[in-house]
Structures are given as C-alpha cells and as structure tokens.
C-alpha cells in the first residue's frame, strides 16, 4: 500500500480496519476515530483520489492502492478553512478536508447530488449543494457555516 | 471482531468455489455493512471471501434496450453513469438519497441489495431478536419502534429493509443475476427478498454461497419518474418513508404507473394494489388518494410508527401529483 506517496508494508490480521492500520500500525494519526461505524466521517481518507471512510474497510482490501490522509494533502481548501473559521476543536477537520478535496473532484467530474434539481444537468456548487455533498462529515462543534464558506471560497 | 480466514477472489470462479468450500462464509464487497456487523459480533463468519476486486464493474446496454449493471459497481459510479442519469433518473435519485458520498464510493450494487436491517435491536446483542438469534423474541414490538415497518410484517419481526436503491429497482422491474458452483440463474427483484413470516433470519431466496453478478434493467419507459425520500434530517439518514414512482398520463387518464415504497416494509415494496387501482383511472388527486388507501389498508402499526400510514399516504399522493403535472407540461 502507498500511504501519502511512500511505499509502506505491514503484516496485519485480516480483521484490522484501514483506519486502525493507519493509526495503530503505520503511525499515521491524522484520520480520527469518531464512531467507527461509518456515521461521522472523521476517518475520511482518499483512496486513489476518492473519499472513503477508513473505519469500514479492511486494510487487506486496500493492498496495492494509493491512500492519502490529511498528512499528504496540500490543497487551497486547507488555508480557506483557517481563513473562514472552518473549525473549533479540530477533531473533525482532517476528515472534513479530505472529504472536501474528494468532493471538489466529484463535482469537477460533473457528478450530481441529492440536491441537484435535474440529475442530467451539470450542477453548480451552491450552498445547498455543498451542504448535501458534505453531509457525511459531522462536526460536534457546529463549525458548519465556516466549513461551507471555506469550500465555497475555493470552489469560486 | 472475531478472527477469520481471508480469501481474496480475483475472479468469479474462485469466489463461488471458496464460498462453496467454506459453509458460513460471507462475501465482502464494500464492507460498509458487513464490517460494521462483524465488529458488533452480529455477523461472525469463519471465512470471508473478498469480492471487492472482481471485474464486475461495468454498465452495458442489453439487446432488449435495457442495461446490465455489474454487481461490484460502486453506488456513486452507478448514480453518475450517463445512461442511468438520462434513462433511469429515478435510480440516480434513489442512490444519491442513500448514505453519504464516502459510503457511496465504497458501497456496491450487490452489497446494497443484501444490506441488513437497521433495527437497533438487531445490532444490540444484549436484547432479544429473532432475526439475529431465532427463538429469542423481538425487542422492537414493545420497544422503540418508530422506524419499523407497517406492511408485510409478522408477529416475529417488524424490521424494515433499509435500502433506497432497491426501492427504485423494484419499481423498475429489475432482475438479479446470480452464480454459484452449480451455474447461473435469474431472479426478479420482487422474488429476491422474503417477508419475515416465522423465519425472519431468512431474508432472501439466495443460497448462502450464491454470488450476485449483475442486475438487469428492462428498457426504460418514457414516463416522468421520481424518487422521493422523507427522513428525520435533510441528508444522511435512513428513510421513514420513500416513494419511487413513474406515471404516464394520456388524455387525463393513467395509462401506466409504477410505484414502490421504502421504509415501510421488510422488503422493497412494490405497491401492486395501488397500481391496480390507478391504471385506467382519471389522473386526479382523488384517484391518487384512493390508490394510496388501497395499498395501505392492510397496514399494521405499533405504538411508535402509527404516523407512517399518514406519512406514506401523503408522500404517495404528493409524488404522483408532481409527476402528473410534470407529464402534462411535457
Ligand atoms: C452510516 C450509514 C448510513 C447509511 N445510510 C443509508 C441510506 O440512507 N440508504 C441506504 O440505502 N443505505 C444506507 N446505508 C447502507 C449502505 O447502502 C450499505 O451498507 C451498502 O450499500 C452495502 O454495500 P457494500 O458493498 O458495502 O456491502 P458489504 O458490507 O460488503 O456486504 C453487505 C452484505 O451483502 C453481501 N454481498 C455483498 N455483495 C454481494 C454479492 N455480489 N453477492 C452476494 N452477496 C453479496 C455480503 O456478504 C454482506 O452480507 C448506510 C450505511 C451506513 C454505514
Ligand atoms: S424487528 Fe426484527 S430485527 Fe428488530 S428486534 Fe424484532 S426480530 Fe429483531
Ligand atoms: S470513524 Fe469512520 S465514519 Fe466515524
Ligand atoms: S471542529 Fe470540533 S468537531 Fe468539528
């Protein structure tokens, strides 16, 4: 598995999740464990550029893939989070940022969302679109307004 | 999570052979349901056959004008596929109404079909549940049952099938193609899931070692269609009630209708009674209400979910009304 551009390997039992492999075995602690049930998004990472929740995948399933965690992200959305107060405690932030990076790529590829009026159209990133597309990332501190503003700023 | 033997299957033949050789094995696709249930010790397989790399990830046009969808296609890829968006918009809407973007990037078509109920007691090993452990009881009947089913239930289980995608597939008359070491067969979606009866632990008509390889959609109808989902928050929540509908109106009369319901039954619920009442009837609010009433007449409610009858009625009527308007504008 490549993690943040570096070839890594570990001998793991098949029951180890991708999240636990990263945090406990590879020392990559950016992805956070919130719920361990797919419901909060704190553990979001990019696999081959696509956002996933690392708590519900087994590490063995990602053998040979390219995994990017917040440690490997270098994207304008990071500064935009700081400028727009997109965080308070910061626990959800690594997941929010990875999710935002994946989301912007999905939108650039023309993918619709549940907020898209006509699914055959190419939607623009309105506030409603951003909120819907980011609904897999919860923020216990309620920094949502800043998060949406940060993403809107980068989306232009 | 209990330890298990892990088999990575590079092709279908290896996958079905491994499952046949290890009774009680589970196929692992996106993992978004199975890994969760294994972590809660609700699922405890000795062998896990990883099918996530099987090359069943494409959408092909069939000779009859429909589509064949590979079972390992991700929910997000299917929702965004140009042929699905243009020809089966109801399916795109249903997929996008489910879970979150991250989960849809992992979840597969086969896994979505076979995802298990979200009844909280099914997940909680400290409570009785006939589905998890036959013969122990049902904690939902006297417990918190706001999310539970009103149609097709039994004394032993009142859980819902939680999928959004499946509701659209039920309305679209999808056919599921499966394979095991003995060969292949085709199962209409309506016959894939079972009602609980007194065996709620048996959820489908598949043998444990049968692999879903694809889902076939018949040629699309021209009628306007829609998936509408009602839930406790605006996004990222399971349906309380959902409706997949397609309505074709000619000269003010219902020429054809497809209607399926989610959130109200133990399986994706094709509303055949409502369709029967509507076909040939005037496309009016009165007909829509009569159809909804006919479908919901056999509803059996619990303390917490009585509201679902009225909610389902209103959602059916509103969806059909919108489609009738859309059709008359076109
Ligand atoms: C927080 C959360 C919220 C969610 N919200 C929604 C929602 O609003 N709406 C909704 O519809 N869904 C929702 N889901 C459920 C999600 O859609 C399912 O978990 C997903 O579709 C399962 O697909 P998978 O590929 O990950 O399946 P897996 O977890 O890999 O497998 C699920 C089951 O299917 C079997 N299986 C998988 N593929 C095959 C195959 N090809 N042949 C035979 N058996 C197979 C497995 O053995 C297993 O028993 C939610 C899930 C989570 C975690
Ligand atoms: S409703 Fe079904 S799944 Fe829920 S506790 Fe009762 S038997 Fe178990
Ligand atoms: S820890 Fe993975 S989604 Fe919450
Ligand atoms: S900033 Fe604290 S949880 Fe989001």
Q: Between chains, do B101 and A99 touch, taking CB under 8 Å as contact?
A: yes
| Assigned fold of B225-329 | Enolase-like; domain 1 (3.30.390)
Specify whether A22 is located in the same domain as A35: yes
User: Which parts of chain A have pLDDT scores under 70?
Assistant: none
Specify whether A55 is located in the same domain as A96: no
Looking at the domain that runs over B5-52, which CATH code has it been given? Answer: 3.30.43.10
- Residue A78 alpha carbon to ligand 3 centre in Å: 21
Q: What are the tens digits of pLDDT across the range B103-138?
A: 999 999 999 999 999 999 999 999 999 999 999 999
Return the domain boundaries, chain B. Answer: 5-52, 225-329
Specify whether A83 is located in the same domain as A138: yes
Distance from CA of B159 to the nearest CA of A (A): 20
Q: What is the residue-wise DSSP string for B175-219?
A: EEEEEETTEEEEEEGGGTBPP-TT-TT--BSS-TTPEEEEEEEPP
Does residue B117 line the site of ligand 2, with CB under 6 A?
yes
Does residue A141 line the site of ligand 4, with CB under 6 A?
yes
Residues of A near B (CB-CB distance < 8 A)? 13-15, 17, 36-38, 41, 44, 50-53, 56-58, 60-61, 99, 102-103, 106, 109-114, 116, 118-120, 131-133, 135-137
Residue ending a domain, among A40, A72, A104, is A72
| CATH label of the domain that carries residue A144 | 1.10.150.120
* Residue B207: strand pairing partners: none
CA atoms within 13 A on the CB side of B52: 22
Specify whether A97 is located in the same domain as A53: no
Q: How far apart are CA B323 and CA B308, in angstroms?
A: 22
Domain count, chain A: 2
Interface predicted TM-score (ipTM) over 0.90: yes
pLDDT for residue B14 is more than 90: yes
For position B222, what pLDDT does the model report?
Answer: 84
For position A113, what pLDDT does the model report?
Answer: 98
pLDDT category at B327 given cuts 50, 70, 90 is: confident
Q: How far apart are CA A30 and CA A95, in angstroms?
A: 8
**What is the mean pLDDT of the segment spanning B297-312?**
98
Tokens representing B200 are 């709620």
Q: Pick from B79, B86, B102: which is nearest to A99 by CB?
A: B102
Q: Between chains, do A15 and B106 touch, taking CB under 8 Å as contact?
A: no
Specify whether A97 is located in the same domain as A145: yes
For position A156, what pLDDT does the model report?
Answer: 84
Q: Between chains, do A50 and B105 touch, taking CB under 8 Å as contact?
A: yes
b/e B243-271 (16+ beta carbons within 10 angstroms → b): bbbbbbbeeeebebbbbbbbbbbbbbbbb
Q: What are the tens digits of pLDDT across the range B43-91?
A: 999 999 999 999 999 999 999 999 999 999 999 999 999 999 999 999 9
Specify whether A8 is located in the same domain as A67: yes
For position B51, what pLDDT does the model report?
Answer: 98
> For residue B132, with 0-12 CB atoms within 10 Å meaning exposed, 13-18 middle and 19 or more buried, which class applies?
buried
Distance from CA of B261 to the nearest CA of A (A): 18
DSSP-derived 3-state class of residue B168: helix
Domain that holds residue A96: 76-155
Does residue A144 line the site of ligand 4, with CB under 6 A?
no
pLDDT for residue B221 is more than 90: no
**What is the mean pLDDT of the segment spanning B163-175?**
98
Q: Pick from A61, A99, A133: which is nearest to B31 by CB?
A: A61
Strand B225-230 to B241-250 pairing: antiparallel
Specify whether A142 is located in the same domain as A101: yes
Distance from CA of B43 to the nearest CA of A (A): 13
Specify whether A40 is located in the same domain as A85: no
Decide if B265 contacts B151 (C-beta within 8 A). yes
- Residue A79 alpha carbon to ligand 3 centre in Å: 24
Specify whether A42 is located in the same domain as A82: no
CA dihedral sign, ordered B41, B42, B44, B45: negative
Whole-prediction pTM: 0.98
Residue ending a domain, among A27, A44, A72, is A72
For position A23, what pLDDT does the model report?
Answer: 98
Specify whether A57 is located in the same domain as A6: yes
Decide if B262 contacts B166 (C-beta within 8 A). yes
Element (H, E) at B27: strand B26-28
| CATH label of the domain that carries residue A38 | 3.10.20.30
For position B330, what pLDDT does the model report?
Answer: 59
Q: What are the tens digits of pLDDT across the range B250-289?
A: 999 999 999 999 999 999 999 999 999 999 999 999 999 9
Specify whether A85 is located in the same domain as A51: no
């Amino acid at each position: 598995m490549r993690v943040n551009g570096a070839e890594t390997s570990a001998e793991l039992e098949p029951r180890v999740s991708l999240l636990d492999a990263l945090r406990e075995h590879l020392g990559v602690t950016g992805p956070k464990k919130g719920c361990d049930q797919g419901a909060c998004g704190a553990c979001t990472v990019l696999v081959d550029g696509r956002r996933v929740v690392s708590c519900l995948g087994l590490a063995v399933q990602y053998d040979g893939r390219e995994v990017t965690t917040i440690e490997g992200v270098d994207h304008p959305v990071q500064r935009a989070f700081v400028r727009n107060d997109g965080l308070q405690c910061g626990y959800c932030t690594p997941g929010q940022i990875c999710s935002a990076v994946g989301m912007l790529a999905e939108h650039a590829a023309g993918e619709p969302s549940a907020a898209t009026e006509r699914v055959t159209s190419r939607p623009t990133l309105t506030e409603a679109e951003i909120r819907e597309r980011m609904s897999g990332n919860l923020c216990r501190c309620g920094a949502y307004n800043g998060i949406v503003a940060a993403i809107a700023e980068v989306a232009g | 999570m209990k330890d298990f033997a892990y088999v990575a299957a590079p092709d279908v033949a290896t996958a079905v052979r491994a499952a046949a050789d290890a009774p009680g094995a589970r196929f692992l696709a996106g993992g978004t349901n199975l890994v969760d249930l294994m972590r809660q010790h609700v699922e405890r397989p000795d062998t896990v056959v990883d099918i996530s790399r099987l090359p069943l990830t494409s959408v092909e046009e069939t000779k009859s004008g429909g589509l064949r969808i590979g079972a390992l296609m991700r929910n997000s890829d299917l929702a965004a596929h140009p042929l699905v968006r243009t020809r089966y918009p109801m399916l795109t809407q249903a997929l996008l109404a489910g879970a979150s973007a991250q989960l849809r990037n992992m979840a597969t078509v086969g896994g979505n079909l076979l995802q298990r109920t979200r009844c909280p007691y099914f997940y909680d090993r400290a409570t009785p549940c006939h589905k998890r452990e036959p013969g122990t009881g049902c904690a939902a009947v006297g417990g918190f049952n706001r999310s539970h089913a009103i149609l097709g239930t039994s004394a032993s289980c009142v859980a819902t099938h939680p999928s959004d995608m499946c509701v659209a597939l039920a309305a679209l008359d999808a056919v599921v193609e499966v394979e095991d070491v003995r060969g292949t067969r085709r199962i209409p979606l309506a016959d894939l899931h079972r009602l609980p009866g007194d065996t709620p632990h048996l959820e489908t008509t598949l043998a444990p070692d049968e692999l879903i390889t694809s889902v076939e959609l018949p040629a699309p109808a021209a009628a306007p269609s829609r998936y509408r989902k009602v839930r406790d928050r605006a996004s990222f929540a399971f349906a309380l009630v959902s409706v997949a509908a397609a309505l074709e109106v000619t000269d003010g009369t219902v020429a054809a209708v497809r209607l399926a319901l989610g959130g109200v039954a133990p399986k994706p619920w094709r509303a055949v009674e409502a369709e029967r009442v509507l076909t040939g009837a005037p496309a009016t609010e009165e007909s829509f209400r009569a159809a909804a009433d006919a479908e919901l007449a056999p509803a059996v409610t619990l303390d917490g979910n009585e509201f679902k009858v009225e909610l389902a009625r209103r959602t059916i009527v509103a969806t059909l009304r919108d489609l009738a308007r859309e059709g008359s504008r076109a």
